[in-house]
Amino acid sequence: MPLEVVLKTLAVAVCYYVAGRLGLLGRLTVEGVIVTPIWPPTGVAVAALLVYGTAVWPGIAVGSFLLIASLATPQPSTMITVAGNTLAPLCAYLLLRRAGFRVGISRLRDGLALVFLGGLGAMLISATAGVGLQVVTGRLDTVEFWSVWLAWWVGDAMGVLLVTPLLLVLVGAAGPLRLTRWREMLVLGLAALIVVPLSVLGSLSLLFLVFPLLIWVALRFQLAGSMLCALFASVLTTFEASTQQGAFLNLSAIEVMTKLQAFNGATALTALLLSAMVAEQRALRRSVQNACRELAEVLEHLAAGETPPDLPAPGHTAGLRTDDTAPALERPRDG
């Protein structure tokens, strides 16, 4: 195995472990089982596979094992959970690749693929393996399976929807991060620091105030701004829910989980899909503008009786280009 792949695999393992420790800070208890409304390691794993390829999958397994070992003494059954945590991101990567996913998330279909294939679809594996193991080993009653399974599944899916797009932006896989409108970014950042805590920490249920801000950020800064704002809102709301304060005061554990997951899901979907739609519309507008500019140049040459430089001279046959379609998914080397 090349040294570069080994180093990338170790980096994935470390990032997975650190993300897991951070995710556990906002843990909740459902039917006696510890769950996290947002599980960042799944987002780290999917992003790593999209950027580096399947060669780094051992890093996901190692990171998952070390994370479990830091919480309890590993048992033979631990390998089932590790397998589920590894197979789920791998399945997400393969499904996204099959669907023609582009890591730039510049189309609505990319956002929908990440939501329904990479998040909600593939994470069924990890949730079923993890909670099923709890039932088989007798640590969870059969009647409690679905409530814990739902919390586990949504937590893993939220990790993909909130963390993966942001990581793709940070590593440059989703395109360059432009800072030309820094004044507007500063205003939006200050607004987020005021509106989000006011919505979450107040005794009144004002979580809906986050969405106008989220829409504004998505329209102006697309993926980078909207996902950062969504992650900030979701993390702050999760920590508030874990203490049952603010908008989650006097609610039962099931009510807290339901309200929190509904908010996190709506936040992630709004940020991801709206930013993808805006990016797609802007790309379409640029394409139309370029086509109109090229057409105007051709007409100018024809009006002057000249042969346009981009057109073949009379008597020659134009060849068809076969590379006009951009690759659906940037396929990284697997080592």
80-89 per-position pLDDT tens digit: 999 999 999 9
**Cα–Cα dist 93/113, whole Å:** 11
**Cα–Cα dist 179/165, whole Å:** 18
Average pLDDT estimate for 209-229: 86
Nearest to 86 by CA among 57, 127, 122, 43: 57
**Cα–Cα dist 223/288, whole Å:** 22
Residue 309 has pLDDT above 90, yes or no: no
Over the stretch 160-184, which tens digit does the pLDDT of each residue have? 999 999 899 888 755 555 666 777 7
More confident residue, 209 or 252: 209
Amino acid 324: pLDDT = 40
Average pLDDT estimate for 219-226: 83
- DSSP per position, 31-67: TTEEE-SS-HHHHHHHHHHHHH-GGGHHHHHHHHHHH
Q: What mean pLDDT is reported for the chain?
A: 83
pTM, two decimals, is 0.80
Residue 244 near residue 87, CB atoms below 8 Å: no
- DSSP per position, 210-275: HHHHHHHHHHHHHHHHHHHHHHHHHHHHHHHHHTT-GGGTT--HHHHHHHHHHHHHHHHHHHHHHH
Residue 117 has pLDDT above 80, yes or no: yes
User: What are the φ and ψ backbone dihedral angles of 29, each rounded to 5 degrees?
Assistant: -115, 125
Residue 67 has pLDDT above 60, yes or no: yes
Strands 28-30, 33-35: parallel, antiparallel or unpaired by DSSP? antiparallel
**Cα–Cα dist 239/216, whole Å:** 25
Average pLDDT estimate for 187-202: 83
Report the share of the chain in percent with pLDDT over 70. 88
Can you read off the two tokens belonging to residue 13?
Answer: 């393992």
Amino acid 318: pLDDT = 43
